[in-house]
Structure 1
Amino acid sequence: MVLSKPTRRLAALLAVATALTACAKVPFDAPRTPSYALPADASSDAVSRAVSAQTGAQSAYFELANGTDALGARLRMIESAQHSIDIATFLIKPDTASGILTHRLFDAANRGVRVRLLVDDVFTTADDTDLAVLDTHPNIEIRIFNPSSRNAPKAMGFLWDFKRVNRRMHIKTFVVDNDMAIIGGRNFADEYYELKPTEVFADYDLAIFGPEAAEINPIFDTYWNDTYAIPVANLRAKSAPKPPQIALSDWAYDPDSPEVAAYTKAINARYLQDIANRKVAPYRGTSRIIADTPQKLRNPDGKGPHILGEAFFAAIGEAKSHVTLISPYFVPEDYGARFYANLARSGVKLRIVTNSLASTNHAYVHGGYARHRADLLAAGVELYELRHDAIEALNLADIENPPHITLHTKLAVIDDTSVLVGSLNLDPRSIKTNAEIGLLVESPAYARSILTNLDKNLADFAYKVTVEDAGLQWTHQPKSVAPTVVTKDPDAGLWRRFMSVLPQWFGLEGLT
């Protein structure tokens, strides 16, 4: 039988559709055993003992504003763990920081500590096989959240199943023994811990010691036991060879390796020693964990529930005198721009700190912010943009090519009373599309400390954006060097400028 041309085209299209469907298949029905956080138990770690002595039954909060301190705090918590470690991260890269952290997790598992590691898929570049090797340890389980298919390259799976795979778990939490925790913006990659020579992420975490740390794990359990959380062993192709079981001795480091040097520097960080020696006092207060649910990722994009986003707008809407917002990706859209402008017009001093076009690691996002700058400034909002080469401009590094800075901190400081810290970016992706988590801390001392440090350093590291007769103007006026004034996005090349306008040309601001 000879098929007609239209019939042959239809058959070919059906064959392609069938192949794409097969390639996009993800084993969401893979068997898995539900598990939940273990009860809190006192830690023997020196840091935890010192904190407990200072606070008694209250929770204590310590800032982790430095990448080395943030890595060292995680390492100390892992090494002090007695019963459980529960970690959610947006990405893992195959680099020095991840190698150190996973090595220590493996060692903790050898001591009998149960380790659960939940990893979002899209920007994770660590190989499935490497994760599967770690997963072979009987005390370690790794799950990949909302993965693309492994029957084809990850990018192809993203395109074939964009509606689902575009929805991401952006949560980053780190809980040990259910009484020590870290929440904030850092993932498992060198740039978050000052281990990348060409780039530094100005990021921020908050360490929590005490009973309020246990409030994070019910959120973790919800995502861990969700149908979108696929055991890494089930995600790998059936034809893939069984991952080998390894011992800690197989992971031995050369004493001169970068991992050993980075580990030694982080674990011995002076700030952590000062906490252990009670030279640094914790902030005290009360806190409330606020998180989106996995259902947000299954509902149509933008339909919610927007639990954290709504809590954020409600909290800053109640401000009496001033609000400071720090966000690497500030894309307010029209509704947000109106909200911020009205807040400023009501008499609340509103200050927003974000990346410049030169400092952002996602230039296409910048256009969704840039188009609102003039209107926000006209309403009285103060805008500051990070200077990407501030380390070089301020002569802060005695090296030939100092690293560039990218802002990755997510903070909201409301009056002198409360701070929201977590994973929430002030853009459509965080508020409408992805799942996020935040901790709202009521602590005047903590809020005032952040504002004091910001007031001390903002002029050194950021441009102030203003409206002048000729249009927008960027002024960098640090204390130690001559001021710089420019009238277009500073230090941004033609390619970055082109990328920043693409979302506006194609009406894609909601995807940024």
Structure 2
Amino acid sequence: MTWHEWLDLLQFWGPVIIVVGSAVAAAGHALLTRETPASAFGWIGVSLLFPPVGPLLYYAFGVNRVRIRARRLDRASRHGLGAHRPGPTAELRDYRGFIKARRRGLAAAGDRLSAWPVVAGNQVDVLNNGEKAYPPMLDAIDEAHGFVYLTTYIFETNRIGKRFIDALARATARGVDVRVLIDGVGEWYALPGKRPVALLAAAGVRTARFLPPRLWPPALRLNLRNHRKILVTDNGIAFTGGMNIGDRHMAQEKGGVADMHFRLAGPIVRQIEAVFLSDWAFATGEQSRVSGRHLPSLGAAGCRSIENGPTRDFETLSTLLLTAVSSAHRRVTIVTPYFLPGQALVGALQSAALRGLDVSIVMPGRNNLPFVAWAARHGLDELLSCGARVYFQPPPFAHSKLFIIDDDYALVGSPNIDPRSLRLNFELAVEIYDSTTVETLLAHVDGLIGQAHEYTQAQLAARSFPARLRDSFFWLFSPYF
């Protein structure tokens, strides 16, 4: 064959080989990496039957680039996004002194899901809304002499935000080691006001952004957000929960948001401090040791920090929630603004309801993200049909996050029950093993339910066709919310 004939063959068969090869490669990748047979089979079919569009669609939507990118960032940094790496061979601790027998299996699972043990002797104070939470947080900053560490997803620069900036500036002027870590996407929520990093820097406060997006070199990173809320000081006090910094959490004001925060004192504070320092090291490259100050026992609560993020091989929070539901004997109570559970958690809640447990899910009746509420409503039939009860709270919008088992276990903190919190964000939750604290939370939830509207299976079925179509459409995109 002449050189021109070889060139003609190459021009014809080259694109064919590339198209077929890409289809086979995409199908093989889906076969090896997809988590369910249905997902793998679907993407294999799309890739093989519709080349070259199928492989392009698989690359765009089927590859979990969030986890890949998170692990690459974690490897590139000298500091990981967690203090330690738990796993199935982690040591199981002896908690017989302060955890009830029926809950020790859950505590054992936590030993292998979390970097930390359950520590006894903690005091937990429940703080409802900004009216109750912000004053003690500002007091803790003003009383600090050694360090103040603050992480928040949103830092508004309105009236409340300026009070925090002033308090942080005063602490800096006293010689306190003040560090503020703000999420690189969350800081844009301050608009149309001034962005907080510039104001904090002008006040002399050391501030860092967590994975800020940039146009060049391209790094949009709309996922991989640091959704944690942490304030910890050298006085042995830490705050965490669902609240950001800003006027929006003043629930008694017009347009306010109802939420819940927690003041923690005791040995648990050291774990929360370590979480902050790990994130700070990742964002800045500055490594610091956890303070060596002894933190005495101040209460009766057993507590443990639970870190969650896409750098892990398993979904820590999802697995812990499943284990907790399986350990329940009387009731499972969930309060969340966004309820888009995975199928495994839905199955666990169905099983609990069928066992005769009181399974109650409390959500806001008016959501700040309507499309999330529409998607959530589509999936309620699976739970309502098994006897679970769903309640919608009246305004104001409720941003609180509680996960309660029976009357002696609660998981609180920043995570929502949705794919973004459980798979895409970096979150911090705190386990609470304490009947007194949990009874306080249950009394609060019972008060919410007393004012809420119970949503029934009949009401779900009575939706108009356009409403059902809308809910189903947005449900299709729920893994990406």
Report the TM-score when normalising by structure 1.
0.63
Secondary structure of the residue aligned to 2:457 is strand
Query: Identity of counterpart residues, as a percentage?
Result: 26
The Cα shift of 1:88 comes to: 0.9
The Cα shift of 1:222 comes to: 1.3
Q: Determine which of 195, 200, 219 is the counterpart of 2:275.
A: 219
Match of 1:289 in 2: 305
Matched, 1:463 2:465: no
| 1:165–1:467 CA distance, 2 compared to 1 (3 A) | closer
Distance in 1 of aligned mates of 2:239 and 2:181: 15
Q: Determine which of 428, 437, 449 is the counterpart of 1:437.
A: 428
The Cα shift of 1:433 comes to: 1.2
Q: Determine which of 469, 474, 480 is the counterpart of 1:503.
A: 474
Match of 1:170 in 2: 227
| 1:361–1:283 CA distance, 2 compared to 1 (3 A) | farther
**Contact 2:197–2:208 (Cα < 8 Å) also in 1:** no
The Cα shift of 1:331 comes to: 0.7
Distance in 1 of aligned mates of 2:271 and 2:393: 34
Distance in 1 of aligned mates of 2:380 and 2:434: 31
Opposite residue 511 of structure 1, the aligned amino acid is: Y
| 1:293–1:457 CA distance, 2 compared to 1 (3 A) | closer
Cα displacement string for residues 268-319 of structure 1 (whole angstroms, at most 9, x for unaligned residues): xxxxxxxxxxxxxx963110111125725xxxxxxx5322232222122211
| 1:497–1:80 CA distance, 2 compared to 1 (3 A) | farther
Secondary structure of the residue aligned to 1:407 is coil
**Contact 2:251–2:258 (Cα < 8 Å) also in 1:** no
Distance in 2 of aligned mates of 1:190 and 1:230: 32
Opposite residue 445 of structure 1, the aligned amino acid is: T
Match of 1:383 in 2: 390
Match of 2:175 in 1: 112
Match of 1:192 in 2: 249
Secondary structure of the residue aligned to 1:455 is helix
Distance in 2 of aligned mates of 1:437 and 1:130: 22
The Cα shift of 1:446 comes to: 1.1
Matched, 1:142 2:189: no
**Contact 2:241–2:262 (Cα < 8 Å) also in 1:** yes
| 1:69–1:454 CA distance, 2 compared to 1 (3 A) | same
Secondary structure of the residue aligned to 1:311 is helix
**Contact 1:144–1:230 (Cα < 8 Å) also in 2:** no
Match of 1:369 in 2: 376
**Contact 2:150–2:232 (Cα < 8 Å) also in 1:** yes
The Cα shift of 1:213 comes to: 1.2
The Cα shift of 1:193 comes to: 2.8
Q: Report matched runs for 1:111-510 at 5 Å.
A: 111-125=174-188, 126=190, 131-135=197-201, 140-149=205-214, 161=219, 164-177=221-234, 179-194=236-251, 197-226=253-282, 228=283, 284-293=300-309, 295-296=311-312, 304-356=313-365, 359-388=366-395, 405-460=396-451, 462-468=452-458, 471-472=459-460, 502-504=473-475, 507-510=476-479
**Contact 2:151–2:231 (Cα < 8 Å) also in 1:** yes
Distance in 1 of aligned mates of 2:145 and 2:382: 54
Distance in 2 of aligned mates of 1:230 and 1:128: 27
Opposite residue 460 of structure 2, the aligned amino acid is: L
The Cα shift of 1:165 comes to: 2.7
Distance in 1 of aligned mates of 2:406 and 2:224: 33
Secondary structure of the residue aligned to 1:200 is coil
The Cα shift of 1:130 comes to: 5.1
Cα displacement string for residues 376-427 of structure 1 (whole angstroms, at most 9, x for unaligned residues): 1110101001122xxxxxxxxxxxxxxxx11101111111111111011001
Match of 1:397 in 2: none
| 1:223–1:500 CA distance, 2 compared to 1 (3 A) | farther
The Cα shift of 1:499 comes to: 7.1
Opposite residue 290 of structure 1, the aligned amino acid is: I
**Contact 1:179–1:212 (Cα < 8 Å) also in 2:** no
Secondary structure of the residue aligned to 1:78 is helix
| 1:33–1:96 CA distance, 2 compared to 1 (3 A) | farther
**Contact 2:250–2:258 (Cα < 8 Å) also in 1:** no
Report the TM-score when normalising by structure 2.
0.67
Match of 2:50 in 1: none
The Cα shift of 1:89 comes to: 0.6
Q: Report matched runs for 1:77-88 at 5 Å.
A: 77-88=140-151
The Cα shift of 1:189 comes to: 1.7
Question: How many residues are matched?
Answer: 355
Cα displacement string for residues 189-226 of structure 1 (whole angstroms, at most 9, x for unaligned residues): 2111337x431211011101222212101111111111
Unaligned runs of at least 5 residues, structure 2:
1-72, 80-119, 287-297
**Contact 1:364–1:502 (Cα < 8 Å) also in 2:** no
Distance in 1 of aligned mates of 2:343 and 2:368: 23
The Cα shift of 1:187 comes to: 0.4
| 1:419–1:360 CA distance, 2 compared to 1 (3 A) | same
Q: Determine which of 97, 114, 118 is the counterpart of 2:160.
A: 97
The Cα shift of 1:133 comes to: 4.6
**Contact 1:363–1:499 (Cα < 8 Å) also in 2:** no
Distance in 2 of aligned mates of 1:432 and 1:412: 17
| 1:293–1:337 CA distance, 2 compared to 1 (3 A) | closer
**Contact 2:240–2:261 (Cα < 8 Å) also in 1:** yes
Unaligned runs of at least 5 residues, structure 1:
1-27, 35-56, 152-156, 232-281, 297-303, 389-404, 474-486
Greater fraction helix: 2
Cα displacement string for residues 426-474 of structure 1 (whole angstroms, at most 9, x for unaligned residues): 01111111111110011011111221232234222x1111123xx438x
The Cα shift of 1:503 comes to: 2.1
Cα displacement string for residues 323-371 of structure 1 (whole angstroms, at most 9, x for unaligned residues): 1111110012433322211221122221110122xx1111111122111
| 1:331–1:229 CA distance, 2 compared to 1 (3 A) | farther
Distance in 2 of aligned mates of 1:215 and 1:313: 24
**Contact 1:308–1:436 (Cα < 8 Å) also in 2:** no
Distance in 1 of aligned mates of 2:344 and 2:167: 45
The Cα shift of 1:167 comes to: 2.0
The Cα shift of 1:510 comes to: 0.2
Cα displacement string for residues 56-97 of structure 1 (whole angstroms, at most 9, x for unaligned residues): x93211110132111101111111111101111111122111
Cα displacement string for residues 29-53 of structure 1 (whole angstroms, at most 9, x for unaligned residues): 9xx999xxxxxxxxxxxxxxxxxxx
Secondary structure of the residue aligned to 1:124 is helix
